Amino acid sequence: MAAMASTVTFSLPSPAIQTSFLPRTHRHPRFNKKRPFNFVSNKTVSCRASNGNENNEHSSSPNRFDRRDVLLGLGSVYGATNLVIDPFAVAAPIAAPDLDLCQKATVTSKTAGTIKVACCPPKSAKIIDFKPPEFSKIRYRPAAQLVGPEYLDKFTKAVELMKALPEDDPRSFMQQANVHCAYCDGAYDQVGFPDQELQVHFSWLFFPFHRLYLYFWERILGKLIDDPDFAIPYWNWDTPAGYALPAIYNDPKSPLYDEKRNVNHLPPVLIDLDYAGVDEEISKRDLIKSNLSLMYKQMVTYKTPSLFMGAAYRAGDPPAPGMGSIENVPHTPVHRWVGDTRQPFNEDMGNLYSAARDPVFFAHHANVDRMWTIWNSLPGKKRRDFTTTDWLDASFLFYDENANLVRAKVRDCLDTRPLGYEYQKVDLPWLNTKPAPRRPRQGKGQAKAAETSKTTVISNTFPIVLEKPVRIEVPRPKKSRTKLEKEDEEEVLVLQNIKLDRNVAVKFDVYINEEDGETPTEPADSEFAGSFTNLPHTQHSGGKKLDTKLTLPISDLLEDLDAEGDDSIVVTLVPKLGKGQVSIGNIKIEYVRD
Ligand code: C2O
**Ligand 1 site: residues with CB under 6 angstroms?**
180, 184, 201, 210, 331, 335, 352, 355, 365
- Is the predicted pLDDT of residue 81 greater than 90, yes or no? no
The torsion angles phi and psi of 253, rounded to 5 degrees, stand at -90, -5
Tell me what pLDDT residue 460 has: 72
Tally of CB atoms within 10 A around 581 = 18
Measured in Å, residue 352 CA sits from the centre of ligand 1 at: 6
What is the SS3 assignment for 143? Answer: strand
Tell me what pLDDT residue 455 has: 58
Tell me what pLDDT residue 542 has: 55
Can you tell me which atom of ligand 1 is nearest the CA of 213?
A: 1
The torsion angles phi and psi of 140, rounded to 5 degrees, stand at -105, 120
Measured in Å, residue 210 CA sits from the centre of ligand 1 at: 7
- Give CA–CA dist 355/251, Å, rounded: 19
- Give CA–CA dist 250/266, Å, rounded: 7
What is the SS3 assignment for 529? Answer: strand
Q: Residue 507: which of 562, 581, 559, 557 has the closest Cα?
A: 581
Averaged pLDDT score across all residues of the chain: 84
Residue type, 267: P
Can you tell me which atom of ligand 1 is nearest the CA of 334?
A: 2
Tell me what pLDDT residue 509 has: 96
The pLDDT tens digits of the residues spanning 203-248 come to: 999 999 999 999 999 999 999 999 999 999 999 999 999 999 999 9
Tell me what pLDDT residue 106 has: 86
- 550 with 532: CB under 8 angstroms? yes
Ranking 90-99, 116-125, 162-171, 246-255 by mean pLDDT, the lowest is: 90-99
Measured in Å, residue 335 CA sits from the centre of ligand 1 at: 8
- Is the predicted pLDDT of residue 582 greater than 50, yes or no? yes
- Is the predicted pLDDT of residue 74 greater than 50, yes or no? no
Tally of CB atoms within 10 A around 469 = 18
Can you tell me which atom of ligand 1 is nearest the CA of 352?
A: 3
Percent of the chain with pLDDT over 70: 80
Can you tell me which atom of ligand 1 is nearest the CA of 365?
A: 2
- Is the predicted pLDDT of residue 6 greater than 60, yes or no? no
Tell me what pLDDT residue 90 has: 56
Q: Residue 371: which of 420, 337, 328 has the closest Cα?
A: 328
- For the purposes of burial, counting CB atoms within 10 Å of the CB of 107, is it exposed (0-12), middle (13-18) or buried (19 or more)? buried
Measured in Å, residue 337 CA sits from the centre of ligand 1 at: 14
The pLDDT tens digits of the residues spanning 394-412 come to: 999 999 999 999 999 999 9
Q: Residue 568: which of 528, 522, 519, 512 has the closest Cα?
A: 512
The pLDDT tens digits of the residues spanning 280-324 come to: 999 999 999 999 999 999 999 999 999 999 999 999 999 999 999
Q: 81-89: which pairs have CB atoms within 8 A and are 24 or more residues apart?
A: 83/8, 83/10, 84/36, 84/37, 86/8, 87/39, 87/41, 87/43, 87/44, 88/1, 88/4, 88/5, 88/8, 88/43, 88/44, 88/47, 89/5, 89/8, 89/9, 89/10
Can you tell me which atom of ligand 1 is nearest the CA of 184?
A: 1
Residue range 529-536: mean pLDDT, rounded: 95
- Give CA–CA dist 469/406, Å, rounded: 48
Query: Which of 129-143, 435-449, 501-515 tops mean pLDDT?
Result: 129-143
Tell me what pLDDT residue 58 has: 36
- Is the predicted pLDDT of residue 532 greater than 60, yes or no? yes
Residue range 126-145: mean pLDDT, rounded: 96
Measured in Å, residue 183 CA sits from the centre of ligand 1 at: 10
Tell me what pLDDT residue 540 has: 60
The pLDDT tens digits of the residues spanning 174-213 come to: 999 999 999 998 899 999 999 899 999 999 999 999 999 9
Tell me what pLDDT residue 441 has: 52
- Give CA–CA dist 203/201, Å, rounded: 6
Residue range 367-384: mean pLDDT, rounded: 96
What is the SS3 assignment for 391? Answer: helix
Higher pLDDT, 58 or 582: 582
Letter string b/e over residues 533-545, b meaning 16 or more CB atoms within 10 A of that residue's CB: bbbbbbbbeeebe
- Give CA–CA dist 268/275, Å, rounded: 17
Measured in Å, residue 578 CA sits from the centre of ligand 1 at: 20
Residue type, 21: F
- 29 with 70: CB under 8 angstroms? yes
Nearest CA, atom 3, ligand 1:
352
Percent of the chain with pLDDT over 90: 74
- Is the predicted pLDDT of residue 161 greater than 90, yes or no? yes
The pLDDT tens digits of the residues spanning 18-57 come to: 323 333 333 233 233 222 222 233 333 233 333 333 333 3
Can you tell me which atom of ligand 1 is nearest the CA of 206?
A: 1
Q: Cβ neighbours of residue 321 under 8 Å, at least 6 residues apart?
A: 53, 56, 58, 202, 203, 310, 311, 312, 313, 548, 549
- Is the predicted pLDDT of residue 121 greater than 80, yes or no? yes
- Is the predicted pLDDT of residue 114 greater than 50, yes or no? yes
Measured in Å, residue 126 CA sits from the centre of ligand 1 at: 27
